[in-house]
Amino acid sequence: MSTRAERFRYVGLDVTPTSVVGHYELDGRDFAERVEFEGTDDLRDPGASSVAELWYLLAGLSYYKAGAARTIDVGDTSLGVAGARLLEAAVHDGLGEFAFCNDLLLDDVSIEGGREVARLEATLDPARVLVPFGGGIDSVVTVEELNGDLDESLFIVSPVGGRFDALEATAAVTGRDIVRATRTLDPALLRGDTRFFNGHVPVTAMVTLLASVAALASGRGGVVMSNEHSASAPNMRWHGHDVNHQWSKSWDAEVLIGDALGERVGDHLVVASFLRDRSELWVARQFSRLGAYHHVFRSCNRAFTQDRDRREAAWCGECDKCLFINLVLAPFLDRDELRSIFDGEPLSDPRRLEQLRALVGVGLAHKPFECVGDPDESAVALVQVSQMPRWADVTALGDIARSTSADRDVDELLRPQGPTRVPAHWLR
């Protein structure tokens, strides 16, 4: 049975020309995480090393969660005012789903220690950018929609147990160069322990900071994320807290990360989401026009498990992510083409009806803990699909669509949504 720990310590960060290693301690138990970089210059560059400390702070949450300690001691790590705000939000908001699933209120967690940050002025080329790439429709659309005058490379995080085949195949279609980070989690975390708590951590924020380290170590002035407007929508409200599976993709997280980076390296490094003011439906429409990717991309999480032997070689057709991607592409692709992409049809599968109700906000009390659009977006997509003659035989779609309360339409969702921090030179 899991019991809460008392103290989680940041023991130290090692930076070599090609790697960063974070060392942590949870009530006397040691952990270490190592990341090896390919395609960068020396990581001991002052700006890259400083931002590596930000990664080290957030990466520690993968090990903190094992005991959910009441005290977090960052020791003599450079923290800063903006860095402290980022870490505090990552604990209380980035671990919101973890807290809910383990019925743990983290309101009593205190953060101790930390030094002031010395601001460094990095010399970077704003026309050279890195695009963190996950092989799904979001990052594909970002790559294809960015200003073609930019010097654009992909940033891919791979597990030590072997690269993700689906991701690599999709990356190959882009024709872009790759900067890579290979992440080695502490074996004790992978083996598991009945005394450990388990749950979701803000991985995308960690990846964002690794990409920032790589950018600074190679003179690049931009990190182009692919997080849509709906990533800011929480899944639910619990004990006075918003619980958002996608917190580290949210507008709040983007601003916090930007402030923490600015505190360390000024405003020469721009980190922003290219899709921030776009809906999932806009992304789906743009992707529907990119036929070269249709039969290689993958968004199913079962293709990206750490254990290579357990990875699915095709869309599983069963998970919420498969169903959601099927749903948002359906308004824009021929039904036969969609069926050939998924080697099946989740939308017409009667076993998926309860999942579909949850996606559109008429089923479970909250949307699934997956990277899916907000219920209103999904409802708008379903209403559109249910009215298409090519889907008329799937009468359940119309039944569910009529029970939704969507107050927008497709045309509205194809227009910009909310604020964005994207600089003008990233746009066509």
Q: What are the boundaries of each domain within the chain?
A: 7-122+176-273, 281-413
Biggest distance spanned by C-alpha atoms of the chain? 64
Nearest 5 degrees, angle CA 306-CA 311-CA 314?
145
How confident is the prediction for the chain on average, in pLDDT?
A: 94
Identify the pLDDT of residue 365.
63
Identify the pLDDT of residue 84.
98
Identify the pLDDT of residue 307.
66
Q: Are 217 and 43 contacting, i.e. CB atoms less than 8 angstroms apart?
A: yes
Identify the pLDDT of residue 364.
65
Q: How far apart are CA 181 and CA 258, in angstroms?
A: 21
Q: How far apart are CA 356 and CA 42, in angstroms?
A: 48
> How many CB atoms are located within 10 Å of the residue 218 CB?
21
**pLDDT-derived band of residue 195, with 50, 70 and 90 as boundaries?**
confident
The pLDDT of residue 375 is above 80: yes
Residues 6+ apart with CB under 8 A from 375: 359, 360, 361, 367
**pTM as predicted:** 0.96
Determine the average pLDDT of the residues in 287-297: 97
Higher pLDDT, 329 or 159: 329
Q: Are 38 and 217 contacting, i.e. CB atoms less than 8 angstroms apart?
A: no
Higher pLDDT, 305 or 170: 170
**Which residue(s) pair with 13 in the sheet?**
22
Q: Are 23 and 30 contacting, i.e. CB atoms less than 8 angstroms apart?
A: yes
**pLDDT-derived band of residue 306, with 50, 70 and 90 as boundaries?**
low
Question: How far is CA 426 from its chain centroid?
Answer: 21
**pLDDT-derived band of residue 1, with 50, 70 and 90 as boundaries?**
low
Give the residue from 386, 378, 385, 387 showing the smallest Cα distance to 405: 378
Ramachandran assignment for 73, one of left (phi > 0), alpha (psi -120 to 50 degrees), beta (any other): beta
List the single range of 18-22, 23-27, 237-241 with lowest mean pLDDT: 237-241
The pLDDT of residue 110 is above 80: yes
Q: What is the pLDDT of residues 36-63, one digit of tens each?
A: 999 999 999 999 999 999 999 999 999 9
The pLDDT of residue 157 is above 80: yes
Bridge-based pairing of strands 220-225 and 19-26 is: unpaired
**pLDDT-derived band of residue 151, with 50, 70 and 90 as boundaries?**
very high
Amino acid, single-letter form, for residue 218: S
Burial class (CB in 10 A: 0-12, 13-18, 19+), 102: middle
Identify the pLDDT of residue 161.
80
The pLDDT of residue 384 is above 90: yes
**pLDDT-derived band of residue 142, with 50, 70 and 90 as boundaries?**
very high
Q: What is the pLDDT of residues 328-373, one digit of tens each?
A: 999 999 999 999 999 999 999 999 999 999 999 997 667 899 999 9
The pLDDT of residue 190 is above 80: no
Q: Are 106 and 95 contacting, i.e. CB atoms less than 8 angstroms apart?
A: yes
**pLDDT-derived band of residue 88, with 50, 70 and 90 as boundaries?**
very high
The pLDDT of residue 198 is above 90: yes
